């Protein structure tokens, strides 16, 4: 899981509906994780990050705190920091505090109201830094604002192992988009979750407080609001399972009964026990991730991990 912020609102709703219905007619049925992120979904994700079982956020933050001087040195001076799926920007605050004379911070996030609130907070904390929030779908073409100060380079920041939410082909495509936006002199600072025991992974996505379940079920409420659908969250149960073969967590919403669901002018049937796949979260080895990024035109420069190698923060430059 991650703060995947790919805006349903940022493209024509008819295209989004076609995509949704296509997924709902697959076997198993699929819904894009971009629908996690209405305002409540964004808030629930921040709560997930505080759950004791959910190691990625605290581990990544610990890596950042331990190695922040090396990380900021690798990123460089007077950069434009462009963050995909910025969320609450907790780790970003740490990075901005240690960067030398950053030219601008450009957070990109689907949840416009949430993004505006975070941007206001950051402006009060970093009054001399130009902050240029962009409410958009970062997987699509995004027109980025030009900072007042000419940056020495653009550095894409993509924490949280959000890259793991994409299929391998989609991830390579997104990394290629980042490479193009960063340019020949740019860089990529990215978080990548690492392969580990099934027990640790499944516990992280099935927290005992049930926050992840609320987050997953809220996706149905978001679909209802966007597409005039009539999903009943009470008729579904959250479950996350680890797929060893593909090295990924699969988030599911399992139907508790036979159902007929209306979505806009269409209708679908869901049988008891059938499930919707709402997210994949791929896990990597250091070697597999470097290879994937290399295929998109990046070259690894530095890697930082925690002592148990649960998670990694990696810095890439143009190959």
Taking only the tens place, the pLDDT of each residue in 226-268 is 999 999 999 999 999 999 999 999 999 999 999 999 999 899 9
11: Cα separation from own chain's centroid: 18
Task: Please compute, for residue 89, the number of CA atoms within 13 A of its CA located in the half-sphere on the CB side.
Answer: 29
Res 115: pLDDT: 86
If pLDDT is split at 50, 70 and 90, which confidence band does 104 have? very high
Q: pTM of the prediction?
A: 0.88
Fold (CATH) for 55-196+283-318? Rossmann fold (3.40.50)
> Is pLDDT of 126 > 50?
yes
Structure tokens at 290: 């470097």
Residue 148 DSSP class: S
Task: Output 167-174 pairs: Cβ under 8 A, ≥24 positions apart.
Answer: 167/280, 168/282, 168/292, 171/282, 171/292, 172/292, 172/295, 172/296, 173/296, 174/139
Is 105 in contact with 122 (CB distance < 8 Å)? yes
Residue 253, Cβ neighbours under 10 Å: how many?
25
User: Quick one: what percent of the chain has pLDDT higher than 70?
Assistant: 95
Is 284 in contact with 167 (CB distance < 8 Å)? no
Domain with CATH 3.40.50.150 in the chain: 55-196+283-318
Task: Please compute, for residue 216, the number of CA atoms within 13 A of its CA located in the half-sphere on the CB side.
Answer: 27
Res 61: pLDDT: 95
Mean pLDDT, residues 128-140: 90
Instruction: Write the CA distances from 297 to 37, 138, 173, 175, 189, integer angstroms.
Output: 30, 19, 11, 8, 14
Classify strands 79-84 and 153-158 as parallel, antiparallel or unpaired: parallel
Res 10: pLDDT: 41
If pLDDT is split at 50, 70 and 90, which confidence band does 88 have? low
Instruction: Write the CA distances from 263 to 33, 63, 255, integer angstroms.
Output: 17, 43, 16
If pLDDT is split at 50, 70 and 90, which confidence band does 12 have? low
Res 5: pLDDT: 42
Res 139: pLDDT: 83
> Is pLDDT of 3 > 70?
no
Res 262: pLDDT: 97
Res 296: pLDDT: 97
């Amino acid at each position: 899981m991650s703060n995947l912020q790919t805006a349903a609102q940022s493209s024509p709703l008819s295209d989004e509906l076609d995509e949704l219905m296509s997924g709902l007619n697959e076997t198993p049925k699929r819904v894009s994780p971009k629908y996690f992120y209405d305002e409540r979904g964004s808030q629930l994700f921040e709560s997930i990050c505080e759950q004791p079982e959910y190691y990625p956020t605290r581990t990544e933050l610990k890596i950042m705190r331990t190695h922040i001087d090396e990380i900021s040195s690798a990123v460089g001076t007077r950069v434009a920091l462009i963050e995909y799926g910025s969320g609450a920007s907790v780790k970003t605050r740490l990075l901005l505090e240690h960067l030398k004379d950053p030219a601008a911070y450009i957070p990109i996030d689907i949840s416009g109201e949430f993004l505006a609130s975070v941007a206001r907070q950051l402006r009060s904390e970093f009054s001399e830094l130009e902050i240029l929030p962009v409410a958009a779908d970062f997987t699509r073409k995004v027109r980025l604002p030009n900072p007042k100060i000419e940056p020495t380079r653009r550095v894409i920041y993509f924490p949280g192992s959000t890259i793991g939410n994409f299929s391998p082909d989609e991830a390579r495509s997104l990394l290629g988009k980042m490479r193009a936006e960063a340019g020949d002199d740019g860089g990529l600072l990215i978080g990548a979750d690492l392969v580990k025991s099934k027990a640790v992974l499944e516990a992280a996505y099935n927290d005992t407080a049930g926050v992840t379940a609320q987050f997953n079920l809220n996706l149905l409420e978001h679909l209802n609001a966007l597409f005039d659908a009539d999903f009943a969250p009470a008729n579904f149960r959250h479950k996350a399972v680890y797929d060893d073969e593909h090295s990924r967590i699969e988030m599911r919403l399992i139907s508790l009964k036979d159902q007929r669901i209306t979505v806009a002018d269409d209708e679908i049937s869901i049988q008891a026990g059938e499930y919707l796949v709402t997210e994949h979260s791929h896990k990597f080895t250091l070697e597999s991730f470097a290879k994937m990024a290399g295929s998109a035109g990046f070259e690894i420069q530095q890697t930082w991990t925690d002592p148990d190698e649960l998670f990694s923060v990696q810095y890439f430059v143009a190959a």
